[in-house]
Amino acid sequence: MLVTIVSFFLLLIVLILAHELGHFITAKLSKVKVEEFGIFLPPRILSFKKGETIYSLNAIPLGGFNKLAGEEDPKAPGGLASKSIPTRLLVLSAGSFMNLILPLILLSVAYMIPHLEAIDNVMTGNGEVLVADVIANSPASQAGILANDIIMSINGEPIPNISALESIIEFNLDKEITISIKHSDNTTEDITLTPQSNAPATQGAMGVGITTVEKKSYSFWEAIPQGAISYWELILMYKDGIADMVRGTTPVEFTGPVGIAQMTGEIIRTGFANLLRFTAVISLNLGVVNIFPIPAMDGGRIVFVLIEWVRRGKRISPKTEGMVHTIGFILLMVAFVIISYHDILRLISGGSLL
């Protein structure tokens, strides 16, 4: 539990810092007064002031903020609204831009950390056999084998690749065998099961999907291109996922902080490199969602700037814009509560998001 909590807050802080630093740095460079730079949402836990800016750590872990002078009022000294349209667009979009850049860094670092990686020669290679998935109600499922377990040996014989595993299983169909496995938390366990000779073709004798992996790490110069390739693949997967939701072939699901914390706890058990990859996915999602034209979010504020540009400098009144963003913020908080309620129900029922 402690590892889950620490990992979750580490994930949040990395995402929030990246996003808010984007706004903060571009605001400072544009000579916009930053009244407060906050991690999490108020009430404050602690704070200090340096120059014109208050730096605060707050109690509610639902994001962060930069309180900029004159966000809607062009008459405020050093205010954001007093700056040119290109400057305001730069400051408002910088947070999402940072969230879109962060995955490249995280994925590259993940390659530098020792991690399990599938090897090409799964039949004769010398690595470890990883359980990729477990079929429900199969011998493996009933025996307690879990996804991401490593099959170390069967009946005392080491298992370096899939070929070795298949040979032993074939020789022991319908016989009880003892399997030594290493769980993702590095604990080991000996279990017994009986491979089925009459198992369904889609299940196999044990009921597991397996691959051969080995522990690898890359140098800085090797990791950067590997991270770039992984990031491109992630973008394509994200695009396909959005397209499937629009077509209705994939259900639309929302997950809040509670759900993300649950997934963090499940993922950290598989290694720190996988936590970095998960953080990269969340960062990409935040970068895209924050630019949507939703009131109170960056995209919603950008809409008002673009409307001003279309109207050749004629602004919507600060009072109206402020009211729209306030209503949007309230609706977002209501959505957070509803999503978190469903996340908690799933957590209590023992459901998983992975």
Determine, yes or no, domain membership for 287. yes
Residue 35 belongs to domain spanning: 2-114+249-349
User: What pLDDT does 48 receive?
Assistant: 95
Pair (30, 79) in one structural domain: yes
Q: What percent of the chain has pLDDT over 70?
A: 97
Lowest pLDDT segment from 94-98, 109-113, 200-204? 200-204
**What whole-number distance in Å separates Cα of residue 68 and Cα of residue 63?**
16
Q: How many structural domains is the chain composed of?
A: 2
Q: Per mean pLDDT, which of 51-55, 71-75, 269-273, 344-348 is the most reliable? A: 51-55
CA nearest neighbour of 285 among 259, 324, 311: 259
Determine, yes or no, domain membership for 89. yes
Q: Is the peptide bond before 43 cis (omega within 30 degrees of 0)?
A: yes
Pair (76, 90) in one structural domain: yes
CATH number at residue 212: 2.30.42.10
Contacts 24+ apart (CB under 8 A), 144-148: 144/189, 144/191, 145/179, 145/181, 145/191, 145/193, 145/206, 145/208, 146/183, 146/184, 148/183, 148/184, 148/269, 148/270
And the tokens for 11?
């994930």
And the tokens for 221?
């110069």
Interhelix angle 85-112/2-29, rounded to 10 degrees, is: 140
Average pLDDT, the chain: 88
Pair (18, 35) in one structural domain: yes
**What whole-number distance in Å separates Cα of residue 144 and Cα of residue 174?**
18
What integer is the mean pLDDT of 89-105?
96
Lowest pLDDT segment from 84-98, 100-114, 250-264? 250-264
**What whole-number distance in Å separates Cα of residue 317 and Cα of residue 325?**
13
User: What pLDDT does 354 receive?
Assistant: 55
Pair (192, 255) in one structural domain: no
Q: Per mean pLDDT, which of 70-74, 96-100, 291-295 is the most reliable? A: 96-100
pLDDT tens sequence across 123-177: 555 778 888 888 888 888 888 888 888 999 999 999 888 888 888 988 899 999 9
Residues 6+ apart with CB under 8 A from 326: 296
Pair (155, 110) in one structural domain: no
Pair (269, 342) in one structural domain: yes
Helix (H, G, I), strand (E, B) or coil at 275: helix
Determine, yes or no, domain membership for 156. yes
What integer is the mean pLDDT of 341-353?
73
pLDDT at 86 over 80: yes
Q: Which of 174, 198, 216 is the last residue of a domain?
A: 216
Pair (149, 91) in one structural domain: no
